A and B are shown apart, each in its own frame.
Chain A
Amino acid sequence: MKYEAVIGLEIHVQLNAATKLFCDCPNRPGDEPNRNTCPVCLWFPGAFPRLSREALEKAVLACLALNCTIQPVSAFDQKVYYYPDLPKGFQLSQHHKPLARNGWIDIAGENGEPRRLRIHHIHLEEDVAKLVHETEGRTPISLVDFNRAGTPLIEIVSEPDMRSPHEAMEYVKTLRGQLRYTGSAECSMEKGTMRVDANISLRQEGSSGFNTKVEVKNMNSIRNVGDAIAYEIRRQTECLEKGEPIVLHTRLWDPDKRATAPMRGKFSGPCIPDPSVASIVINEEWLNEIRGMLPEMPDRKAARFSGDYGLTPDEAAAMSLERDISDFFEAAAKSGAAPRKAANWIAVHLAPALRDRGAALAETPLSAERFAALLSLLEKEIINPQSAKEVLLQLLATDESPEKIVEKGGYGQVSDAVELDALIDRVIGEHPADVADYRKGNAKVLGFLMGIAMKASKGKANPKLLREILAKRLG
């Protein structure tokens, strides 16, 4: 029998609002434990929650970016359960009346076909505290850090529209891109500011019913989301083939074993309308104000980049995936950099360098103007590509101008034929065997000797000129 996977995702995203959802404590869970707390988020008796306007704005921006319809009235419920990470004995969440409904995300399917994946709803909720269990020592103890308690989250619940690990990963990637664009969330699975839970069930291919689903949690990268889903599809297929029934339960992904294992059943309590937090009533005027804050989103931007700057579809997509990169690209182009050259240098050199440093563009001193100036030095053959790479790395660390760095570091390209001639003389003199080899017809040696000569010039030789002279001299 041929099975088809039915996948739905529930994604928690931490909003990057300055404060927690219901109090003025800083939204910085990573600070020294219990530093960012107050009577409200510790739920001292007599405290009153007060919804943060900024968190609401960012949540609404996120919902709009995911094509959802903002509900005119939404309200908080108490998700009741007892656990030390929950200061109230309940979590404030929106169960009955979520903030937004009916959104979608467009992705390219496995074979490049367009797929529209629907979002069921998005709701606001507060995060819980962090528990640290210390089992070492004579008495095992549990410590509670309330810094995270009450920080603002949105939960994005998809329809069960995905059919493969690929689609799930594309959904997460696109969703992350959209949300980052709005500036309302960081969405880092590694740092835990985005958490993805997957619901997976199988059904006979061609049927339209839904079977018992299994929830998988604890994936810490998009790749792990795909791997965990693929594993779960295999596991469930084997179960069905052995005639074992699928039981509703939750499993944890183990990234080391690359497998899922069942977790102890978590008690799920009721959701009761909260009598104290006021309902959120959104009027059209305010909503339009927030709509006005929505930036140009990746799809539209990519189309414009193709049109305005002559980028290929792939280049345009790469340049519009992240908002900071897209702004940077456009500013560089406007500062006079050749657009395709700029796109190429950003994708091939700048992006990997940022990844190596684990830094965002904004965290480096590099500006689009200085980047454009660097490309212009390259264009004018004042420096060669190898030096340009060196200078680019330095631009990430200092705020000196590229011209100054070139001058100070002596990166200026050597285009003086006499100087290069002398250099090649020396190289030929030092490698008689290789020269003979070349002359016997081994063309590959030219590349080797080019490397030696370039190295002898400390990387500064004009490569075009160097190759010309070398070829002529060996000729």
Chain B
Amino acid sequence: MELFTHRETDPAAVSGRPGLPLSGRRVVIQPNMSRRGWPCNAGSRALENYTALEDAAIIPRLEKSGAHLAGNSRMSELGFGLSADTTVQALIEKEADIALMTDTMGEARVAAARAGIFGFKPSWGIVSRFGLIGLVPSMECYGVAAADPADISGVMQAISGKDDRDFSMPDGELPDFSQEGKTKTGSRRAGIVKEMLSLLTDKDRGLFRENLKMLGSAGVEVVEVTFPEFELLQTAHQVIAAAEASSSAGKYDGVRYGYRAPGAKNWNDMYLDSRGAAFGTLVKAFLFQGAYFQFENYAAFENACRVRRRLVRSMENLLSELDLLVSPTCRMVRKDAAPSDVRGAYEEFILTLPANLTGQPALQVPGDPAGDCVGLHLTAKRLDDSRLLALGRRLAASRGAK
């Protein structure tokens, strides 16, 4: 299977600009990140033959930092899950150094964990989503995967920051990544959520304890904490994300762009035929769930929103007493076949999706190089992105020294 759906061939663009923080770094992006003139179908037939009209906010920022945009990888339909994704594969095959991936449930971090590299999801709202063809606006963000955490910092320094075209960005000061290399991480306390542990098999737990030694040798104290509503994180994520996805995908009607089914007798049939043929099974199932909560069970949606607000508070309270939460990034045991149902898709991200629901930054740190792929998942306070990445660098350095 082709790794790239589009490759940059313009020699001027390929060389990138010298002498800048990301000079010489090749970045692979996904075809839902608008790059003027590149095919931009978000992995869906709904956007068949669609070409981006203008650059996403991150594109000129990356270019200004000297990065070379290598091309578009394959992605799962509308960025939901990892079933068809080849973005990190481009890094494994040395075709790129840094991957930008849509992270809605934890896609960037889980893909990085499987590849044994670093994966980062910034605090919600610190990178302009202008030009990102998204699905779940209140949770999705640009995730970054790279073998070297310094590359992640470099990308974050380039792409984060205010943009007056994305009004959903928070007021006030955003994280400063420019000083990150010098940031003192200090003594830190990390909490393990007791309720999370019960989701792991003995084998997962064993690997997790092995990986935790990394933190110990970096001077991070690990304590056990409780998050009684931990299981609700997934439910709330699923209900709200499905409803938002249903709204976001409402624009794919075949009227203005994308796939339009031929031969319909009236506009209603045209809608049904076009949408029926445009979406794959998994996305369709997800949109159905969303439409169910919108049209048939709005009370459940409202409930999920209330629960979410409570979970955000719980998470913030936990993190006010700690510096980090720590868990594996994913579980060891997983089915070989790509999940074809929504529940199966969610199962893969059960440990990463809390940060998407409640908005914190989170970092996947590769585990023991001897070969497990569960990784260590660190969640920090909102907007504490820079310190989290600094810790990631220290962990990488100590790993390298071993």
Q: Do A and B come from one complex?
A: yes
Binding site for B on A (CB under 8 A): 39, 42-46, 48-51, 78, 80, 82, 84, 87-90, 142, 144, 269-270, 272-278
Closest to B270 in A: A84
- Beyond A45-B47, A48-B130, A142-B267, whether A276 also contacts B250 by CB under 8 A is no
A-B contacts, 13 listed (Cβ < 8 Å): A44-B256, A44-B257, A45-B50, A45-B251, A46-B52, A46-B131, A49-B167, A82-B253, A84-B253, A142-B267, A270-B298, A272-B247, A277-B167
Shortest distance from the beta carbon of A243 to any chain B beta carbon, whole Å:
36
In the assembled complex, which residues on chain A have CB atoms less than 8 Å from the CB atom of B257?
44-45
Cβ of B137 < 8 Å from any Cβ of A?
yes
Interface size on B, residues (CB 8 A): 40
Known: A80-B294, A275-B168. A45 touches B250 (CB 8 A): no
| Chain B residues in 8 Å Cβ range of A90 | 247, 250
Cβ contact within 8 Å between A80 and B250: yes
List residues of chain B with CB within 8 A of the CB of A142. Answer: 267
Whether the Cβ atoms of B301 and A48 lie closer than 8 Å is no
Q: A39-B54, A45-B47, A276-B168 are in contact. List 4 more A-B contacts (CB 8 A).
A: A80-B250, A87-B251, A88-B251, A272-B247
A270 to B42, CA, bound (A): 27
Q: Is the CB of A46 within 8 A of B130?
A: yes
- The contact of A89 among B40, B130, B243, B253, by CB within 8 Å, is B253
**In the complex, what's the smallest C-beta–C-beta distance from B139 to chain A, in angstroms?**
9
Q: Do A78 and B247 touch across chains, with their CB atoms under 8 A apart?
A: yes
A269 and B47 in contact (CB under 8 A), knowing A46-B34, A82-B271, A88-B251? Answer: no
Q: Are B267 and A275 in contact (CB under 8 A)?
A: no
**CB of B244 within 8 A of chain A?**
yes
Output the least CB separation between A132 and chain B (Å).
13
B165 contacts which chain A residues (CB < 8 A)? 48, 50
* In the assembled complex, B53 has its CB within 8 A of some CB on chain A: yes
Q: In the bound complex, what is the Cα–Cα distance between A44 and B305 (angstroms)? A: 27
The 3 A-B pairs at the shortest CB distance, nearest first, are namely A89-B250, A275-B138, A45-B133
Provided the pairs A272-B243, A273-B305, A275-B138 are in contact, do residues A50 and B167 lie with their beta carbons within 8 angstroms? yes
Neighbour of B129 across the interface among A42, A48, A144, A278, CB < 8 A:
A48
Tell whether B255 is near chain A: CB-to-CB under 8 Å.
yes
Docked Cα-Cα span, A148 to B133, in Å, equals 24
- Please measure, in the bound complex, the distance between the C-alpha atom of A277 and the C-alpha atom of B138, giving whole angstroms: 11
- Residue contact B167 to A88, C-beta cutoff 8 Å: no
1/0 per residue B114-153: CB within 8 Å of A?
0000000000000001111100011000000000000000
Among A45, A48, A84, A89, the residue within 8 A (CB) of B247 is A89
Q: Which chain B residues numbered 24 to 44 have a C-beta less than 8 Å away from chain A?
A: 32, 34, 40, 42
Cβ–Cβ < 8 Å partners of B224 in chain A? none
A51 / chain B contacts, CB cutoff of 8 Å: 167
B52 contacts A270, CB within 8 Å?
no
- Asked whether B40 lies within 8 Å of A45 as measured between CB atoms, the reply is yes
Q: Is B389 positioned at the interface, with any CB of A under 8 Å from its CB?
A: no
**Which residues on B sit within 8 Å (CB–CB) of A49?**
167
Contact between B250 and A275 (Cβ–Cβ < 8 Å)? no
B355 at the A interface (CB under 8 A)? no
Known: A84-B255, A276-B137. A44 touches B168 (CB 8 A): no
Interface residues of B in 63-109 (CB under 8 A from A): none
Q: Are B294 and A272 in contact (CB under 8 A)?
A: yes
B253 and A46 contacting across the interface, CB-CB below 8 Å: no
